[in-house]
Homo-oligomer: A and B are copies of this chain.
Amino acid sequence: MQTLDVRASLENLERVEARAPTQEAVDKFARKRIELAKAALETLATLGYANTSLREIAQHSQYSHGVLHYYFSDKLDLITCCVSYYKSICVTRYDDVVVEASSADALLDAFCDRLVETLEREAPLHRLWYDLRAQSLFEDAFHEDISIIDRKLEDMVWRVCNTYCGLAGGHPTLSRASLYAVFDGLFQRALSGYIHGDTGASGQLVKEVRDLLPKLVSAA
């Protein structure tokens, strides 16, 4: 069992004299955790939290079910790791859209393109997000990680809106919370439509956003 050793070295890293090999072992262990979390995320996104068991997760990875308890102390530990990994994927989705924007219209175009792209290509992952966010209303253990991501998503929306308004020569009329709420809500509706076979869902989302965003900038 390396688990405890690695954990210990994670906490007492400074006091360990043979740094190099231990550090490497820690990294290796952490890398495997991420690899497994990645596989777990795929299964979770396919089946949903309520219908996903550890055995199912293991079956969709290249390992047996026992290995999960070698790298994770329990199911909660695994899910938490999944959420952390998810964070690293999702919160920077629109960053390049923002920095590369040269005009308000160009930003709006790029933003809509990216919205549709992530909606259609990562639909299962998005629905898992909404699933886990709902779970956090019942399981306190999820709350902290989920709410951190929620704030980061709010920041992301804020950057887009604020940059757009700046390029349009004004500033946002709505609060950060309201801006996040409205875009998240529209996206969630489009996701539901897309998942259930409404082929016009993406187009409708773009139409809504194109109609909405210009209204949210104050007169200069």
Contact = CB atoms under 8 A, between A and B. Distances in A.
Interface of A: 47-51, 127, 130-131, 133-140, 143, 147, 150, 173-175, 177-178, 180-186, 188-189, 191-192, 195-196, 208, 211-212, 215
Contacts of A48: 134-135, 137-139
A134 B138 contact: no
Chain A at the B interface: SS class: helix
Contacts of A134: 48, 127, 130-131, 133-134
A147 B196 CA distance: 11
A51 to B, nearest CB: 7
Given A134-B134, A137-B130, A147 B192 contact: yes
What is the copy number of this chain in the assembly? 2
Contacts of A182: 174, 178, 181-182, 185
B175 A211 contact: yes
A127 B131 contact: no
Nearest to A181: B185
A68 to B, nearest CB: 19
Contacts of A184: 181, 185
B208 A138 contact: no
Contact of A175 (B180, B181, B212): B212
B196 A189 contact: no
Contacts of A50: 49-50, 135, 138
A47 B138 contact: yes
Given A136-B192, A192-B137, A178 B131 contact: no
A138 B143 contact: no
Nearest to A132: B134
Contacts of A178: 182, 185-186, 208, 211-212
Nearest to A205: B177
A150 B175 CA distance: 25
Contacts of A174: 182, 212, 215
Of A135, A140, A143, chain B has the most CB atoms within 10 Å of the CB of A135
Contacts of A137: 48, 127, 130-131, 191-192, 195
